[in-house]
Amino acid sequence: MSQMTISTRLGRSTALGARAGRARAVDAAPTSANHGFRLLCALLVALTFTAVLLLNTVRAEGSYVLSTLETEATALHDEKVTLADELAGKQSSEHLARAAAKLKMVPSTSTATLRLSDGSITGVASKVDGSRTLTVDLPSTGTAPAKDD
């Protein structure tokens, strides 16, 4: 910086100092008007923090419930698979043949079918050799049919 610049600046500052002597002091605006604004800002900040806290709590609770439901869904799926395998095993022809043999049932040599629409019988069913006889109670008459023996 040159000397002229400094002296020019000093001259200006002294000129301002002369004016400053003529300036008068003014009181600041009352601070009571700022209390409402400060209170409003503090209230907004507190409400924001409360809302964030509540949202995080609800989200954590939802996460816990979701985790519990996923665990239950996995257990139910495993049980479904186990029951489906068990049902498939019980429906197999080998299992049905063993269950029939335990009940002393024998395979049929001929079949007959009943058409439900008109009540007609198609095919001829023959008696299966066996020592056990079966009696059927007919619901329409309430009486047992006569034995063929």
Q: What is the pTM of this model?
A: 0.41
68: in domain: yes
Identify the sign of the CA torsion 53, 55, 56, 60: positive
Residue 139's φ and ψ, nearest 5 degrees, are: -70, -25
Structural domain containing residue 37: 33-103
- The contacts of residue 82 (CB under 8 Å, 6+ apart) are none
139, part of any domain: no
Instruction: Note whether residue 94 is domain-resident.
Output: yes
Looking at the 3D structure of the chain, how many domains does it have?
Answer: 1
Q: What is the mean pLDDT of each run of 10 residues along the chain (149 residues)?
A: 54 52 69 77 96 96 95 97 94 89 81 86 75 61 54
Query: Is residue 130 one of the residues assigned to a domain?
Result: no
- The rounded mean pLDDT for the chain is 79
Residue 40 resides in a domain: yes
